Structure 1
């Protein structure tokens, strides 16, 4: 049975406005799912599902202003599109100043190996990087436009590591991460998407592609060519993570979703052709045409949300570590304990967590990010066996106890989750086990202390030894139940 996301999704971190909370609109999941048929794609998805924890990065010249990525040049009257600063009085003046950020973007502290080391230590297994957001600035050496990191107008172009996407991909590929290319199908800099003859009215194409097919075909070719560059010149790419869900065939619009009702024109860019090309160069490529129901949305992407129950298809929660997708000075980052609790909840529902970090204008992460990741890594080194290579198992959770099941062995992991940096032990822990009748062994990961348990209702009650109950552990604990 297909689950309706409006019923089964719960928001665990709400959007709010303010100088340090600069979110774009929420992306509701597609109401249905079409499973891929290509055996190589199915195999790659299965491998990706075992990884559980990934790194997302939104980065571009906009980091210099500490503003929301791209959306402040979108002429819509929404909280996330609000213009700020000395150039905000007129739209044209602001857009010109925004695009002129290219001429001052020089992230000289860029060192992707430092990011790889921190992500690997934290237990992350895959990475998705924004090669191009909606504003059209390419963080790779494309031949299709001069609005890019490697153009002579960009100061960083003289750096030997100027092709940022290639450097990031190379660094993560060397450490055996799955690598994903985020790419926005919309391009607000491209004159074949926002034609200067007409003023842009909203996020959508500002002319009718059916009335001007030659112009639209030029944009389709531009998009195809940029994606082919990414599929051919950047090593092994496992995921093509496509955003800009309003660029879609009109017959895929879900009129129950407000922003999709605003799509007035057919914006078909021939995803079949793009997918065939991508998989020719990258066999088994996972396509994530997010929010567009059909054969090219190989997994769904609830944004800033966690399903209340497992979904019937592969899925990934994408969520910010801070309050914003892109860099904001003095952003408030989730604690290590909050990230661990979030990861446990996501994995207990059978999903993956893609945690976003926004690099700063100097090319590095906030020092707080490294501290948070280090705390997560310390916990994962002890408890990671209950996260990786797992599947959801009913009843999924009870109170603050969350379950996972090893996909290959008769083992259930029960996580006792706390929301704080320390976990105070109760005198006993009730672990629901559904239909499992015979338990052979229960132990606490990271501890050699013997545990006693007894049958209780639909599960077991684990007695916490006095010495352990007086101790304080970090964030969350994991019981390994062999049956």
Structure 2
């Protein structure tokens, strides 16, 4: 009697276990939402958590426009589309008659491009994601696009797959990899035809835009798709909602991929994933949607310019101030550099990136994976920007008060309050005045002994 009962119990346990596993799998399958190709459904998709936690990324504008390296990355449009006199003069002064934009292609050599060197720099900069231009509005692709014959980096110029090389190096360092892609191409005959038809035909989208987007996703499995070039036609022309529903439902990156908001006229700041709204977007109050500020170290261009001068270059103080402000207001900060046609990142761009990295090595605790606090900005004798992480509050002050005492009006102290400065070991002394303003005695050390030369972080625990 004993053995059959034992067997019966074991069999019952196995059956119950099988039922349990089946129900879990069924729940998992049932809980995976299918997104339909409309904005109401697509906009309801939760943003993958990694993006909000990342906070800081590096943008890279690199293409055939890096060859003339003059004016901006819109060189071709300014020269041929708008026929601006200064661009025509530049060409007549520097290139033979009849020289076409396509003739720049073979000179885009990437001869000194070393993906590991770039990736090491971005890692040292503290970047948690990197976004590379796969194709700008000029149409040249930095990968062997099957629908960009003889106008891609494998057929012309480098004869290399630049998207793959950088992606491999970036991912070795556990940095997320994003791909910028322009929907439009200024001078593509099919796009010009569609525009003449008021975007009612989709010859260009069918032959070029969509095949390239699907190819990029399937081939490189990006963590982020940074769309651009959308503004001349509605999202229905671009087939944006159909593409995004595939991306979220069935693509190889459906669970982790993040997108921005540039998917058609009137989409910016309204539809997509996180919001860019516009280049160098800088809200003054806390937005109610995840956003990103993209800006460039060269204030006048995204692509490399040989005629760049120092007053055009953002200082490390300006960059770090913008980073702090952006994160305090719940945004991510995407900082752009333009490499040369040879694949070099010029020293001034390296220096700025390394300055950000050095600052983040001390203050990153207040930036990465932080959340906006109940108050973002406090203006008194110095600008103080707040971030938070669970029960900890961080106050980042941009200017050192002459008195050596930092006044904070917003945090309310308790019996458990502790105050330190990131990069300084010991606790700071503090008190409150009769109006309950918090007075913090800053370290009395020479400036050279401070952990960073600018934008210091006070860590407050046990405050309300």
Alignment partner for residue 58 of structure 1, among 39, 61, 81?
61
1:36 Cα deviation after fit:
4.8
Count of aligned positions:
404
Task: Report the Cα distance in structure 1 between the residues aligned to 2:40 and 2:373, rounded to whole angstroms.
Answer: 23
78 and 244 in structure 1: CA distance in 2 versus 1, 3 angstrom threshold = farther
Match of 2:12 in 1: none
1:125 Cα deviation after fit:
0.3
Q: Does 1:73 align with 2:77?
A: yes
Alignment partner for residue 137 of structure 1, among 136, 140, 144?
140
Structure ranking higher in helix proportion? 2
Alignment partner for residue 477 of structure 1, among 451, 456, 464?
456
1:459 Cα deviation after fit:
4.5
1:150 Cα deviation after fit:
3.3
Q: State whether residues 286 and 330 of structure 2, in contact with CA within 8 Å, keep that contact through their aligned partners in structure 1.
A: yes
437 and 247 in structure 1: CA distance in 2 versus 1, 3 angstrom threshold = farther
Deviations 1:435-457 (A, max 9, x none): 66566100011112431112244
132 and 88 in structure 1: CA distance in 2 versus 1, 3 angstrom threshold = farther
Backbone CA RMSD of aligned residues = 2.9
Deviates more, 1:98-107 or 1:435-444: 435-444
Counterpart of 1:186 in 2: which secondary structure? Answer: coil
Q: Does 1:248 align with 2:233?
A: yes
Match of 1:108 in 2: 111
1:363 Cα deviation after fit:
0.5
Residues 220-231 of structure 1 aligned to structure 2 (within 5 Å): 220-231=206-217
Match of 2:184 in 1: 186
Task: Report the Cα distance in structure 2 between the residues aligned to 1:461 and 1:337, rounded to whole angstroms.
Answer: 25
Deviations 1:407-429 (A, max 9, x none): 4x2111111114xxxx6764211
Q: Does 1:379 align with 2:364?
A: no
Residues 177-326 of structure 1 aligned to structure 2 (within 5 Å): 177-195=175-193, 205-210=195-200, 213=201, 216-234=202-220, 236-249=221-234, 268-279=237-248, 280-281=250-251, 282-284=253-255, 285-290=257-262, 292-293=267-268, 294-323=270-299, 324-326=301-303
Counterpart of 1:447 in 2: which secondary structure? Answer: coil
Counterpart of 1:42 in 2: which secondary structure? Answer: coil
454 and 435 in structure 1: CA distance in 2 versus 1, 3 angstrom threshold = closer
Q: Does 1:97 align with 2:100?
A: yes
Q: State whether residues 47 and 273 of structure 2, in contact with CA within 8 Å, keep that contact through their aligned partners in structure 1.
A: no
Match of 2:385 in 1: 403
Q: State whether residues 320 and 356 of structure 2, in contact with CA within 8 Å, keep that contact through their aligned partners in structure 1.
A: yes
102 and 221 in structure 1: CA distance in 2 versus 1, 3 angstrom threshold = same
Match of 1:257 in 2: none
Counterpart of 1:306 in 2: which secondary structure? Answer: coil
Counterpart of 2:348 in 1: which secondary structure? Answer: helix
Residues 420-439 of structure 1 aligned to structure 2 (within 5 Å): 426-433=403-410
Task: Report the Cα distance in structure 1 between the residues aligned to 2:272 and 2:54, rounded to whole angstroms.
Answer: 21
Q: Does 1:168 align with 2:166?
A: yes
Task: Report the Cα distance in structure 1 between the residues aligned to 2:100 and 2:189, rounded to whole angstroms.
Answer: 18
Task: Report the Cα distance in structure 2 between the residues aligned to 1:317 and 1:233, rounded to whole angstroms.
Answer: 28
Q: State whether residues 54 and 355 of structure 1, in contact with CA within 8 Å, keep that contact through their aligned partners in structure 2.
A: yes
1:101 Cα deviation after fit:
0.8
Gaps of 5+ in 1: 1-32, 196-203, 253-266
Task: Report the Cα distance in structure 2 between the residues aligned to 1:466 and 1:155, rounded to whole angstroms.
Answer: 57
1:365 Cα deviation after fit:
0.4
Counterpart of 2:397 in 1: which secondary structure? Answer: strand
Deviates more, 1:393-402 or 1:129-138: 393-402
1:433 Cα deviation after fit:
2.6
Counterpart of 2:425 in 1: which secondary structure? Answer: coil
CA radius of gyration, larger in: 2
Deviates more, 1:109-118 or 1:327-336: 327-336
Higher RCO (CA-CA < 8 Å; seq separation 6+): 1
Deviations 1:279-324 (A, max 9, x none): 3222132222326155424333442242111111000000001122
Task: Report the Cα distance in structure 1 between the residues aligned to 2:416 and 2:437, rounded to whole angstroms.
Answer: 9
